[in-house]
């Protein structure tokens, strides 16, 4: 179990996570915000918009891969 305390807009928030996701989250948090534990609201909003855009791009790529797989399904080897 991992605990991370983040200050956003002058309020402290404790984030407690388990397992491998906790490691992933901490690494990603540090990539996004550096070593800071105090984050401005604007920074958080920007990071959320960026994550949404990243997810959008991933969905586009998944769709392309699925389309390629579906095209190849009926083809004999």
The widest CA-to-CA distance across the chain, in whole angstroms, is: 62
Question: What pairing do the DSSP bridges indicate for beta strands 2-8 and 38-39?
Answer: parallel
The pLDDT of residue 75: 56
Residue 55 lies in a domain: yes
User: Which two structure tokens, joined as six digits, stand for 29?
Assistant: 């948090």
Q: Could you list the pLDDT tens digit for every one of the 77 residues in the chain?
A: 889 999 998 899 999 999 999 999 999 999 999 999 899 999 999 999 999 999 999 999 999 999 888 877 665 55
Q: Domain span at residue 60? A: 41-72
The pLDDT of residue 54: 97
Same domain, 9 and 32: yes
The pLDDT of residue 65: 93
CA neighbours within 13 Å on the CB side: how many for 12?
4
The pLDDT of residue 77: 53
Same domain, 22 and 2: yes
């Amino acid at each position: 179990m991992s605990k991370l305390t983040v200050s956003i807009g002058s309020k402290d928030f404790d984030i407690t996570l388990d397992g491998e996701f906790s490691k992933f989250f901490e690494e990603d948090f540090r990539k996004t915000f550096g070593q800071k534990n105090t984050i401005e609201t604007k920074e958080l909003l920007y990071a959320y918009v960026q994550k949404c855009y990243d997810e959008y791009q991933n969905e586009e790529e998944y769709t392309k891969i699925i389309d390629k797989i579906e095209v190849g399904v009926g083809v004999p080897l």
